[in-house]
Amino acid sequence: MGVLTSYVIVVGLQVEVVIVVVVVVAVVVEKVIVVVVVVAVIAVVVVVVVEASVVAVVVLAAVDVAAIIIIIYCWPTKVMGLSNETWTLMRVLSKEAGLEEPVMPTLPTK
């Protein structure tokens, strides 16, 4: 593995950590637009790293999937506020990642 590839992986991982933190904060403070922007940034980062290394892509993809899972499953009440466009985007990303399609959470009925 070349020096450049190693450098890209290190920088990529640092970017990913920042992205995940932003995603979590965004969900907590219910800033849906921030979440959408972050997901878009994630896609860009992965595309950029594709040029660098397969290993990096696998690692980054795993981190991205984890971030998306956090959004979808850990804060269902917060995620209730997400727009249909955001859900469509998440469904597409989940399908691309080979995950089950996320289902929009509904409030439990008594």
Query: For residue 12, which amino acid is it?
Result: G
Range of the domain at 72: 3-96
Position 77 pLDDT exceeds 60: no
For residue range 7-63, list pLDDT tens digits in order: 666 666 666 666 666 666 666 665 555 566 666 666 666 666 556 566 666 666 677
Tokens of 56: 């990096």
Residue 26 falls inside a structural domain: yes
Position 81 pLDDT exceeds 60: no
Residue 102 falls inside a structural domain: no
Q: Count of domains in the chain? A: 1
- Residue with the two structure tokens 């450049």: 4
pLDDT of residue 101: 57
Residue 105 falls inside a structural domain: no
pLDDT of residue 58: 66
Residue 78 falls inside a structural domain: yes
Q: pTM for the complete prediction?
A: 0.28
Measured CA to CA, the distance from residue 73 to residue 4 in angstroms comes to 36
pLDDT of residue 49: 59
